[in-house]
Amino acid sequence: MSKHLIDLEHITKSFGSNVVLDDLNLYIRENEFLTLLGPSGCGKTTTLRLIGGFETPDKGRILFDGIDITNIPPHKRQLNTVFQKYALFTHMNIEDNIAFGLKIKGKTDKYIKDKIEYALKLVNLSGYGKRMPDSLSGGQQQRIAIARAIVNEPKVLLLDEPLGALDLKLRQDMQYELIRMKKELGITFIYVTHDQEEALTMSDTIVVMNQGYIQQIGTPEDIYNEPENAFVADFIGDSNIIDATMIHDKLVSFLGARFDCVDVGFGENKPVDVVLRPEDIILCKPEEGTITGEVTHLIFKGVHYEMEVMTEGYEMLVHSTTMSPVGTKVGIKVDPFNIQIMHKPESEDEEAVGVEE
Amino acid sequence: MKNKAKLLAAPYSVWAIAFILIPLAMIFYYGLTDRSGAFTFENIISITTAEHSKALILSLFLSLISTVICLLLGYPLAMVLTKIGRNSHSLIVFIFILPMWMNFLLRTLAWQTLLEKTGVINNILNILGLPSLNIINTSYAIVLGMVYNFLPFMVLPLYNSLTKIDTNVINAAHDLGANDVTTFIKITLPLSVPGIISGVTMVFIPALTTFVISNLLGGSKILLIGNVIEQQFTQASNWNLGSGLSIVLMLFIVVNMIITAVFDKDGEGTML
C-alpha cells in the first residue's frame, strides 16, 4: 500500500461548548479517493477545514508528508479546496479566476495561459475563459471551481460537498467526471458528502462519521456489505436491523427462528444485532420460508418494488423485482452469507442515532 | 390585483406630486426666470461670480474631504463589524446606530458646545494644562461636523456589502495562496465597490448641500453653497437666484446618482 500523505493525530475540536471532533485519528494515503461521509453535524466538514487550514484543532496535530502543518496558514499549504457553492470570484472572468493562484505564485504569462487552457479542457469548458461566473450554470461553475484549484498542482484536492447544489442528473454526471479527473491528475482527493450513493460511487475509502467519531473506515464494499455497527448499516443504504441472539458460531436466532449464517467469534448465546439488506431478503411461498409474514405495504420504485412485510411484530423492508400484493402471506428466507452480524453497541454514545437528512 | 396596488399607491402619488414634483417644477420656473417673470439663464450663470463659485468650490472641497475621511474611518469599522461574530453583531450595530436616532440638529449643537472657546473640550484641556483647541468657526469644525453626522451613512452600506461576501470566497483566496493583504486588495475591496459607491454618495450629497453644519460650526464666516442658497431665500428674498443655484447643485447630485446607478446595479449598498 502507498504511504501516508496526511495524518490526523488525536484531533479534538470544539466550538464553544459543542465538541465537534473528539480524539479523531485518521490517515490518508497518497493518491487515494477518500470520502468523509456522515449526517450534518457529524464533524466531516470540520475535519476537511482542519486539513485545509481554515480551522485549528484544540488538541492534536496534523502531519502532511510527515511534516507538522497544524499551525501553517492555508495559503502556505500544498493543497487546494473546492468549496460548497463554488465560491468563485464573481468580479473576475473565468480566466482570471483560474489564474488567481498562479499569478500570486508569480508564474509567467505563457505558463499561466497554457495552464488555463489545460484546465478548461480537463473540465470540458474550453472556450469559456472570457465569460463571467454569473453567466454559467451551477454545474459549469462547479467545474470552474475545480479547474481553479487543480491548476495549482496541489498534492491533495479537498472537496466540500461540491455537488450538493446540483440537480440529480447533473450530480451523477459530475460523479463520473470527478472519477475521470482523479485518474487523469493522479492526486489525492478528500471528499466530504452526506450522500451515501455519491460516496459509494466514487471512493476508494469511505470514512463514516457520526457525532464527532469515526464509525467505520473501509472500501465501499466493506462499508455496504459489512457495516460494523447499526449506525453505519442504517446510514448506508436501507437496512433492517433486528435484535438477535448468537446461538453459537454460524447459527443465529431472531424473529423466533434460527438462521444459518457465516459469522464466527461472537461467542455463545450472546445478544447481537443482525443487518439484513432489503434486496437480500427472498420472499417465497409460506411453507418454503424460514419464517412467515404478511405484506402490509407495496410501492413501485421503478427498478424494484418496495414492500413491508409484518413478521413476528417486526416490519421488514424488502426490495424485490417481483410483486406480492398487500395482504399476501409470504415466506421469508435469507442466504447465510447475506446475514450480517454486528456487536451490540456497548454504550449510549455508540447507539445508532436517527439520520437528520 | 393590479388596480388594488394602484389604489394603495394613491396617497404616495398625491404626496409625490404635491411635495416633490410641484416644488421641483417651481424651482425650475424660478431658476429660469427673473423677478419680472421673463426667461433668463442669468440665475444659473451667476454661479460663475467670484462669491458663488468660491462657495461652491469650498463646498465640493469640504464634502470631498469629509467623504474621504468617512471612507477611511468607516471601512475598517465596517470590516470589524462584519468580523465580529454573527451572534453579537446586532448589539454592536445597535450601539453604533443609536446616535442616529437623536436629532441631527441637536447633535450638531452639542458639538458647538463642545468646541466653543470656553466649551467642554477646552475646559478639560485647560485643567490638564494643555493648549486650547480653537477650531470652532473654521473649516476644520465643519469637516468634523460632517464626518460625525454622516459616518453612519458610510458604514451601513459598506457593512451591507461586506457581509454579503461569502466567507468561503475569502477562504478560497487564502486557499489559492493569497495572504491577507492580497486577499483584501484583490477580493474584498473589489467586491465591496457597490457599498463604497453607495456610502460615498450618501455622505457626499448631504455634505455638499448642508447649511446647518456650516451655520452652527462655521459661524457666519464660512459660506458653503448651501448657505448661499439659504440666504437667497431667507434674507435676500431672491427666490430666482436661489432656485438657479439650486439647479446647479442638483446637476452635481444627478451626476453622482448616475455614477451610483452604473456601479451599484443591484442597489445592494443602499438597502439599509
- Spatial distance between the Cα atoms of A56 and B1, rounded to a whole number of angstroms: 56
Helices (H), B128-211: 139-163, 167-175, 180-183, 189-191, 193-209
Lowest mean pLDDT across A105-114, A274-283, A289-298, B217-226: B217-226
> Which chain A residue's Cα is nearest to B180?
A75
Looking at the predicted structure, is the pLDDT value of residue A1 above 70? no
Position B109: which residue type?
A: L
Q: ∠ CA B65-B68-B70 to the nearest 5 degrees?
A: 105
Looking at the predicted structure, is the pLDDT value of residue A256 above 50? yes
- Spatial distance between the Cα atoms of B155 and B183, rounded to a whole number of angstroms: 21
> Taking Cα atoms as reference points, which of B271, B26, B39 lies closest to residue B159?
B271
A–B interface: beta-carbon pairs under 8 A: 64
Q: Which sign, positive or negative, has the C-alpha torsion B60, B62, B68, B74?
A: negative
- Spatial distance between the Cα atoms of A184 and A156, rounded to a whole number of angstroms: 14
Is the CB of residue A314 less than 8 Å away from at least one CB of chain B?
no
Q: Which CATH architecture has domain B45-270?
A: Orthogonal Bundle (1.10)
Q: What's the grid cell of residue A344?
A: 451490540
Is the CB of residue A105 less than 8 Å away from at least one CB of chain B?
yes
Q: Which of A73-82, A340-349, B258-267 has the highest mean pLDDT?
A: A73-82
- Cβ contacts (< 8 Å) between B85 and chain A: which residues? none
The CA dihedral of A190, A194, A195, A197, to the nearest 10 degrees, is: 60
Give residue limits of the domains in chain A: 4-225, 239-350
Looking at the predicted structure, is the pLDDT value of residue A348 above 70? no
Q: Do A74 and B179 touch (CB under 8 A)?
A: no
Q: What is the pLDDT along chain B (272 residues), one digit of tens a residue?
A: 567 888 888 899 999 999 999 999 999 999 999 988 899 999 999 999 999 999 999 999 999 999 999 999 999 999 988 887 555 656 777 777 777 788 888 989 999 989 888 888 888 998 998 888 888 889 999 999 999 999 989 998 999 899 999 999 999 999 999 999 999 999 999 999 989 999 999 999 999 999 999 999 988 788 899 999 999 999 888 999 999 999 999 998 898 888 878 876 655 444 43
Looking at the predicted structure, is the pLDDT value of residue A226 above 90? no
Beta-ladder partners of A299: A306
CATH 3.90.79.10 matches A239-350: no
Residues of B at the A interface, defined by Cβ within 8 angstroms: 166, 168-169, 171-179, 182, 186-187, 190-191, 193
Q: Do A104 and B178 touch (CB under 8 A)?
A: yes
- Cβ contacts (< 8 Å) between B177 and chain A: which residues? 75-76, 101, 104-105, 152
CB atoms within 10 A of CB A340: 22
Distances (CA, A) of A194 to A197, A211, B54: 9, 13, 68
What DSSP element (H or E) covers A19?
Answer: strand A18-29
pLDDT at B120: 87
Looking at the predicted structure, is the pLDDT value of residue A199 above 60? yes
**Mean pLDDT score of chain A:** 89
Looking at the predicted structure, is the pLDDT value of residue A346 above 70? no
Instruction: Give the full edge-to-edge strand order of the sheet including A4-15.
Output: A18-29, A4-15, A59-64, A67-68
- Cβ contacts (< 8 Å) between A150 and chain B: which residues? none
> Taking Cα atoms as reference points, which of A123, A118, A219 lies closest to residue A180?
A123
Give the closest-approach CA distance of B174 to chain A in angstroms: 5
Which DSSP category does A97 fall into? H
Q: Which sign, positive or negative, has the C-alpha torsion B73, B75, B80, B86?
A: positive
Is the CB of residue A88 less than 8 Å away from at least one CB of chain B?
yes
pLDDT at B266: 56
CATH 3.30.930.20 matches A4-225: no
The model's pTM? 0.79
- Spatial distance between the Cα atoms of B64 and B70, rounded to a whole number of angstroms: 10
How many residues comprise chain A?
A: 357
